[in-house]
Chain A
């Protein structure tokens, strides 16, 4: 994770689909173009669906890191329309 300068972090492990994506989307809206968000998400449905939804919104996914506690951290660069 040290490869990227993280500007903000959001934890979406406390919500379920479809709020997972909504929460990530709201966090991204807070950022400026080019800033980087780290999203902590659960295994299973969130890690299968959230990266794809973020891609479909036009943002740039940089990395998916596996954490030791069974969660993942998705590193996303904000891209404006």
Chain B
């Protein structure tokens, strides 16, 4: 029998198990989105080729354990028939995760599924010095924990009061958790140094008296494994999608150019210098 190429198997999402010749197959579940058709095929494969159970991973994926080495190719073909693709492991861009976002969740400020899909198409599987994770969350509630990712994207809104539409009900000032809104004699003032762009004022306003532009708050260098670090947000709000991708392109490029093998993005930024990194991101931000 030919020598088993574990590195290639791992790249294709097959994780070697404790049990000899058994693999746990990781699927590419972009943004945690699976169709009923996908799920039926997963169930079928788990019953036929696995041991009848699946594992839900911490990054929204499904892993089908106990796949035998000799079944690897047929399992891939079977899954493809149900629209399922294998994920990746190892030093490359991992499947992009997302919360449900503005298409489903009342709190969402951005269409997280759409952004996750586009990021995944752009970078999925791209070889880098170490693993690289993107996470997209729709609002400040941060259900998807944006800052634990190498690059985190969080939905926000850029706000401006529309005086003509305002009935002075006072709801916005109460819902603001940052105490950024004050009302005096019918005039609303926003303290933009305090505003965290959560959008609660916009969502609760009975007369839609806010000009609200969806925006992206991007964090860099998050880690939540052997080392723990919160991603940092050195850039101002990003209000255009193409601007977002310019910045993510630049971050990936910075890592590809400067990262040492097996060095996480955070440590590359720290070693090369935060100022240098931020300067690169600012250049991309301004275009």
Contact = CB atoms under 8 A, between A and B. Distances in A.
Interface in A48-81: 48, 51-52, 55-56, 60-66, 72
Contact of A61 (B106, B177, B200, B206): B206
B171 interface: yes
A47 interface: yes
Given A47-B174, A56-B106, A72-B174, A62 B169 contact: yes
Interface residues of A, number: 14
A60 B234 CA distance: 40
A25 to B, nearest CB: 15
Contacts of A65: 170
A67 to B, nearest CB: 13
Interface in B89-108: 106
B171 A51 contact: yes
Chain B interface: which size bin?
A: 10 to 19
A52 B175 contact: yes
Contacts of A52: 171, 175, 200, 203-204
Nearest to B176: A48
B167 interface: yes
Contacts of B167: 62-63
A63 B204 CA distance: 12
Interface of A: 47-48, 51-52, 55-56, 60-66, 72
A64 B203 contact: no
Contact of A55 (B174, B177, B204): B204
A38 to B, nearest CB: 13
A65 B174 CA distance: 11
A47 B170 CA distance: 11
Nearest to B106: A56
Given A61-B169, A62-B167, A64-B170, A55 B175 contact: no
24 contacts: A47-B174, A48-B200, A51-B171, A51-B174, A51-B204, A52-B175, A52-B200, A52-B203, A55-B205, A55-B206, A56-B106, A61-B169, A61-B206, A62-B167, A62-B169, A62-B206, A63-B167, A63-B169, A63-B170, A64-B169, A64-B170, A65-B170, A66-B170, A72-B174
